[in-house]
Amino acid sequence: MSHENRRGWIVVATVFLNFAMLYGAWYSCSVFLVALLREFGWSRSLVAGSFSVFSLIHGSLSAIMGWMANRVSPKQLLLVGTCLVGSGLLLAGETTEWWHLYVAFGVVTAAGISMAGWVPSVLIVRGWFPDRVGTAIGVASAGIGIGMSGVVPLTQLLIDWFGWRWAYRILGAAIAGWVLPATLWLIRDPPIDGSDAAAGARARRQPAEAGVYWTIASAVRDRRYWALAGVFFSGNFVTQMLLVHQVAYMVDRGVPVMIAAFVGGGVVGVASIVGKIGWGALSDRIGRELAYTLGLSCVVASIGALVLVGMYPVSVFPYLYGVLIGVGYAATAPLTPAAASDLFGGAGFSTIFGTLQGMMSLGAAVSSWGAGKIFDVTGSYAVALWVALGSAILAPIFMWLAAPRRPHPPPGGKPSAISDQLSNLR
């Protein structure tokens, strides 16, 4: 293994652990939701609304983060964002009114994760492994599963032992204590020849006909951009609805809270580790469309298992649900950025990817608040589960319409080098 290749895998391993910390805090919102409902007696939609604001802020900043990553080092974004995440979680521990939670978690923490999380990290990993995007992102994103399987149950234990306020504070301190030094010492920006910024600089120095590449303006005029936006929105709509409300649903139906937290964190997290690595590598071999369809089929099956949890709470069905949603949800992490890279790779990719991430966050915001509102109005999640099922069926249809297996050049130019390489591999 060459020194450069070894350095790339060190970066992937560091992103893996960073994701474990950052997204462990993200998905701990499901156990905090139960604790806050008990503490304040707020409506379910009001508490879940903080995650909707979180998703909207996170998504609206994603396009900006993509644009900024072409102008400053992604590593600098990670450092600033980590400080914001730690500060936001510390502030969330001081909540006494609903709007405190919205500001601390929904705005400050969301802004931090937008800067320290998915978009800049994917750009770094993609830059190190442009010819194995699905595999590399699959390995890195598996860290999210570690966060779910370890941090979410640990958060429930912290709530039981010290209360939810100190749980927020401990999470904030732990994230800052790991991610800041790890990013400073272990993460390196990609080699200059593979970076989007370098590609953009080369394009600006070349004649227009030789340097044409996808921009956000040309992408939004292409129907496949909107099909891919549908994938990002609908896939995240169903998965985030389930992941945000799963613990509350199971507790409502008679599952003991610690078992519900273990399933929603531990079982889902471990299953998603296998899924993310597996789906990413598989998609590099059989194509994004088929791999994504298989993944969302698991999500459809998980909804059926969750219905059975409501009928038989003390049974194997909570664990079956956890395995199915973990494996199925995992397909969305490596395959959506890989598909975007297939279709819109090049100097403008970071901004295009950022806007697509905004669609993903919009799906999460609408579904997490909407499911809470449906429960408040009807006293049940039944209607929400039917909506989730429709979204799980729709997402793979959008992926086939986007057709990342057949990348084509931007208007007036040749395919980008990365899209050309990926096309040749298939």
Tell me, what CATH number does 247's domain have?
A: 1.20.1250.20
The Cα–Cα gap between 263 and 286 comes to 31
Helix count and strand count (H, E) for the chain: 21, 0
Q: Is residue 96 part of a domain?
A: yes
| pLDDT tens for each residue of the chain, 426 residues long | 566 678 889 999 999 999 999 988 888 887 898 899 999 999 888 988 888 898 889 888 887 888 887 788 888 999 999 999 999 999 999 999 999 999 999 999 999 999 998 888 988 998 888 878 788 888 888 888 888 788 888 898 999 999 999 999 999 999 999 999 999 999 987 876 544 433 433 333 333 334 567 888 999 999 999 999 999 999 999 998 998 899 889 999 999 988 988 898 789 888 988 898 899 889 888 999 999 999 999 999 999 999 999 999 989 999 999 999 999 999 998 899 889 989 998 878 888 988 898 898 889 889 988 998 999 999 999 999 999 999 999 999 999 999 998 888 887 655 444 444 444 434
H helices within 70-195, ranges in order?
74-92, 98-101, 110-116, 118-128, 133-146, 152-162, 164-186
Tokens (6 digits) for 42 = 């707020």
User: What's the Cα-to-Cα distance from 320 to each of 24, 142, 317, 327, rounded to whole Å?
Assistant: 21, 20, 5, 11
Number of domains the chain is built from: 1
Tell me which DSSP letter residue 348 carries. Answer: T
- 201 in a domain, yes or no? no
214-237: b or e for each residue (b if 16 or more CB lie within 10 Å)?
bbbebbeebebbebbbbbbbbbbb
First to last CA, the chain: 24
Structural domain contains residue 391? yes
Give the H/E segment covering residue 233: helix 223-252
Determine, yes or no, domain membership for 203.
no
Which residues fall within 8 angstroms of residue 20, CB to CB, at 6 or more apart?
143, 144, 146, 147, 150, 151
What tokens does 160 get?
């039981």
Is residue 132 in some structural domain?
yes
The answer as to whether 16 is a domain residue is yes
Amino acid in the structure at residue 14: T
Q: Does any domain span residue 13?
A: yes
Please report the pLDDT score of residue 2 as a whole number: 62
pLDDT at 416: 42
User: By residue range, what is the domain housing residue 413?
Assistant: 3-189+213-420
> Is the residue at 194 inside a domain?
no
The candidate with the shortest Cα–Cα distance to 23, out of 155, 158, 113, 138, is 113
| Among candidate residues 315, 307, 308, 281, the one with its CA nearest the CA of residue 295 | 281
Q: How far apart are CA 420 and CA 273, in angstroms?
A: 30
